[in-house]
Structure formats: structure tokens, C-alpha cells
Amino acid sequence: MDNVIDGKKISEEIRSELKQSIKYEMLKPSIAVIQVGDNEASNTYVKMKEKACDEVGIYFRHFKFEEGESELSIINKIKELNNDEYVNGVIIQLPLPDGYNEKRLVNTIINSKDVDGLTDINTGRLVSGRKTLVPCTAAAVIELLKRSNVEISGKHVVLVGRGKLTCRPLIQLFLNEDATVTVCHSKTKDLGYVTRHADILVTAVGINNIITSDMVKDGAVVIDVGINYETGKISGDVDFDNVSKKASLITKTPGGVGPMTVTMLLKNTVYCYLNRKK
Amino acid sequence: MDNVIDGKKISEEIRSELKQSIKYEMLKPSIAVIQVGDNEASNTYVKMKEKACDEVGIYFRHFKFEEGESELSIINKIKELNNDEYVNGVIIQLPLPDGYNEKRLVNTIINSKDVDGLTDINTGRLVSGRKTLVPCTAAAVIELLKRSNVEISGKHVVLVGRGKLTCRPLIQLFLNEDATVTVCHSKTKDLGYVTRHADILVTAVGINNIITSDMVKDGAVVIDVGINYETGKISGDVDFDNVSKKASLITKTPGGVGPMTVTMLLKNTVYCYLNRKK
């Protein structure tokens, strides 16, 4: 359909740009991924990241610890990577197994290599409006809108969800772009009443079809970040078949925000490489 | 009037509670205020803080540097105070004269003594929903609502303004309290349309009478954080005489949020004292 924002296509464009600049400017970006335990979904995500890195020319290193490995030895590995001038990005594959202090481990990553944008300091910098590394899914939403020529300034953005990976950073990013921003969540009364005000509606809840067409204004731009597996296949938060008839632009799940998230990780890594000596 | 939230009275209640607990629990909280230059408004604010500290029994130390003092010597003083076990809170009186790196100086303060709640790490912690030191004016707004028995959960809060001292932290605080939150600002189209949806309206713009009674829903709670001197006397953002006829509860300027801000600084300092050994 004409009004579908094709995340896969936009993602490929960006990866191709990254690949070109890595090749012709002879950049040598590298990323280190720390994984603890053998969570199946994590294995898949790590492989997906490795494949994407290989594709554009980012050197990928994978450090896999067994579940039960001491937190201290993981911290020591992070510190070693912080100090390694040949490593530009460091991420910890989440979720960690029970018993590990996620916040402590994430905050051990030096801010200049925090390509997931999750340390407290980078979060604080984002809130105070300074240039910093931004969580990949949130960055993906803004990038999709910009590459689709959606004007954000002065628009009313409604975020459904308040999670730290997507909606909390998006509040800041949309305010920085001069949007009016509303944040809804499970405690919001009459969700549809609020979402009908959205010029740009972003949903990151993880409940299949929670956004139906009566909840969307004619001509709205709809970005679906939700991922659900309930129906046996991957779906988003939005009743796509019906909402797409009202929206001026809309993402589809799969093929919307998903492919963009890893791409933003690649972009952040190249950014860190280019800024490594500043 | 019956529906006025008396910030002065609530502030006195809290100060009296603090004074009692300092006295009977034999607490020895202390705060250090760093001032650079001789800005008249800053002199007044520092004196106001000193008086409030004296009143409740917080030991007050004032370090005043001449404008032109090197940034390094101010940083060294902050580090000395960070390491001084008899100092529980450290603040830098803002604004600093031109030429000083405010972010760098503020972020030199150790997080556990950051009683203004302004370091990047404390900002990041607030965004990720953890207990942390919160900027005093934002904390004052929440405290006024709670002490006035206003239910926040499920309510639609509209913030007018997006500054880092008040509205940015209030987004997080109100989300943590389960409110639906909308943030408006100078680029918002039809501000009145948005503010009329507010169950709780908080304004922190600094424009006299920007909020008129047609912009407020019947029965709304209105908190005015704005401060203006244009008319020769102190006023807020809200056309109090008319809005107070529609609001169920409303603050008045002066005598609303203002007196509470210094009180929250006292409260943060006692909190830091009590947590000093954790």
C-alpha cells in the first residue's frame, strides 16, 4: 500500500550509506557484545546483530559468559573493553539472568562507548537536551519519521507506553523536535479519547490490536513499536488492516520499526568510532 | 479563599517537621552553597536559603568566589566538599557568570550530595524510575499536591513549559505516579485547547497571565510555578482572579510554589544526611 512506511527499505538505505562511508573513508568501527547465559531469544538477537555488522563492515566481537559467572569478572571485562582503543561500542545483551545487577553492569560501560544509550549519564544528558547516544528503538522512530518527511515541530505526538527503552527517551526526543507530547499507559482513562488527538501516534505496549481504528484520527501518522507473538506470528499493537485505512502513514509489523533498531545500533557504533578521539 | 493551596502554610508545616526531627533525633545535617560572583538575585536567594537552614537546624556553609576565579579552583573546592564527611549537601548557586561550564561544575558534585538533583546521573536515575534526589521545584509541586490530598493516579496532567528544572523532571514524577502526562510549550498549537483537558494543570513559563480562565477546565487543580516581575510586583503565569473561580484548587503567586522550593532543599539535605552511610 501507498501509505506504508517501509522500515526494511529505509533500514537498507541507511545500512548502504554506512557501508559506503566505512569503505570509502576507510573507517574501522568495532563493537563488543557481552552476553550472559544461553537465552534462546538473546542468541538470535546477537546473531542478527553480528550479521548486520558483517554486512556494513563493523568488526563484531562476542563475549559469552556462562550463567553463574561472577558479576565481578563481567565488570572486569567491561572495564577492559572501555580501555581498549580498538573497541568503539560496548553493549550488554538484555535481559540478564536473575541475580545480576543490570543497572550496575550497564553503568560500568563508559559513556562514549554506550551504543545502546542506556547509562544513567547518557539518559541524563538526553533529558537536558544535549547531543548524546540515544537508545536504538527510540532513535529508530525519529529516523523513520524524518526519512518519511513527516514534520514533527508543532505536531501533537501521543506515546502509548512509558518504558525506558522506547517511550521515556522518545518524550525527550520529540520535545527536542518541538512537538507537543502526551504519554499514555495502562492507567490512562479512556485511551482512545487521548489517542484520537494524535497527529503522530507511537505505540510500544506489546498488546496485540490494542490500537483499533476508532482510536486514530483521520490522517494520523502511526508508528507501531509493539511486538507480540500471541497469535503464532509476529504482530504489533495496531490493528493494521483497519487503521491503515485512516492513517496517512503507518508502519507494519514485521518490517516496520524492528529492522531499524539494529540499524541504529550500527549508526551509533560508527558515530562512536568517529568521535573516539574527541 | 477556600480553594487556595497555601504554599507558605504547607512549607511551614514541613519545616516544623524537619526541625522537630533534627532536634529530637539529634541529627547534624549540613549544606554547602557555592556562589561565584556577586549577582544580586543570587545574594538574595543564598540569604533565603541560609535563613531557612538556620530555622530548622541545618548547618549552613557559604563559599563565595569572586567572578574570574578559575574553574579549577572551584572544582577543587567541590571535590573537597564531596570528600568532607561533615557536609551532606552541595549546591552551586545558578546562574553562574559567563565563561563557567555549568554542566561540568554541577556534575563534579557527588550524586549522594546533589541536593538540587541536577547531576546527569541523578537525572538519568529519575528517568529510569529509581529513587533519587529530585530538583526542588519539581519535588515541591508533587509535595503540594500530596499534602492537599489531590489524587494523581489516572489523572490527566498538562505541563506548560519544558525546562530542565521543573517540567522535565515533573514528566517523570507524574508518570511514576501513574498520571497521563502532556507537555506543551511555545511551539504548541492552540495551547488553550490542550490545557482545557487538564485535570491537573502545572505552568512554568514565566509569562504573566498566559493562562486565562477560558483555558482551564471547571474543577481543575492549577499549580503556578511561573515567576514574573513585569508588573512591578511578583506574579505568576495564571490569571489568578478569574482562574480561581473555576479551579477546584489553585496556588497563588507569591505564596504558592515559591516557599516550598527552599523547603524541598532542606528536605533533600536531611535525606542525604540520613543516607550518608549507606
Mutate to test the interface with A, among B94, B106, B126, B127 (most CBs of A within 10 A): B127
Return the pLDDT at A278. 59
Residues contacting residue A12 through CB under 8 Å, at least 6 positions apart = none
User: Tens digits of per-residue pLDDT, A22-43?
Assistant: 999 999 999 999 999 999 999 9
CB contact under 8 A, A182 and B181: yes
Domains in chain A: boundaries: 27-110, 136-258
Angstroms from B97 CA to nearest CA on chain A:
20
| Chain A neighbors of B175, CB-CB under 8 A | 162, 183, 185
Mutual angle of helices A257-274 and A40-56, in 10-degree steps: 60
Mean pLDDT of B229-254: 93
Q: Does domain A27-110 have CATH number 2.40.50.140?
A: no
Query: What gap in Å lies between CA A254 and CA A234, rounded to an integer?
Result: 6
A136-258 topology per CATH: Rossmann fold (3.40.50)
**3 state SS of B143:** helix
Query: What gap in Å lies between CA A137 and CA A268, rounded to an integer?
Result: 12
Please state the ipTM of this predicted complex. Answer: 0.94
Angstroms from A153 CA to nearest CA on chain B:
7
Is the separation of the CB atoms in A188 and B180 below 8 Å?
yes
Instruction: Check whether B28 has a pLDDT greater than 90.
Output: yes
Mutate to test the interface with A, among B110, B158, B181 (most CBs of A within 10 A): B181
Of A127, A128, A183, the CB nearest to B181: A183
Give me the sign of the Cα torsion angle B23, B29, B35, B41: negative
- Matching fold, domains B27-110 and B136-258: yes
If one counts every other C-beta atom within 10 angstroms of the C-beta of residue B72, the result is 8
Instruction: Check whether B277 has a pLDDT greater than 80.
Output: no
Instruction: Check whether B128 has a pLDDT greater than 90.
Output: no
Q: What are phi and psi of A91, to 5 degrees?
A: -130, 155
Of B103, B154, B194, the CB nearest to A187: B154
Angstroms from B15 CA to nearest CA on chain A:
30
Query: How many Å is the Cα radius of gyration of chain B?
Result: 19
User: Tens digits of per-residue pLDDT, B77-122?
Assistant: 999 999 999 999 999 999 999 999 999 999 999 999 999 999 999 9
Residues contacting residue B257 through CB under 8 Å, at least 6 positions apart = B7, B137, B140, B141, B144, B223, B224, B225, B251
With an 8 Å Cβ cutoff, the interface of chain B facing chain A consists of 103, 119-125, 127-130, 153-154, 156, 162, 164, 168, 171-172, 175, 178-185, 187-189, 194
Query: What gap in Å lies between CA A213 and CA A225, rounded to an integer?
Result: 17
What nine digits make up the cell of B205? 513559563
- The pTM of this model reads 0.95
Return the pLDDT at B231. 74
Q: pLDDT in tens for each of the 278 residues of chain A? A: 689 999 999 999 999 999 999 999 999 999 999 999 999 999 999 999 999 999 999 999 999 999 999 999 999 999 999 999 999 999 999 999 999 999 999 999 999 999 999 999 999 999 888 889 999 999 999 999 999 999 999 999 999 999 999 999 999 999 999 999 999 999 999 999 999 999 999 999 999 999 999 999 999 999 999 998 877 889 999 999 999 999 999 999 999 999 999 999 999 999 999 998 65
CB contact under 8 A, B182 and A180: yes
Mean pLDDT of B173-182: 97
Residue B35 appears among annotated catalytic residues: no
Catalytic residue (one of B35, B113, B114, B116) = B116
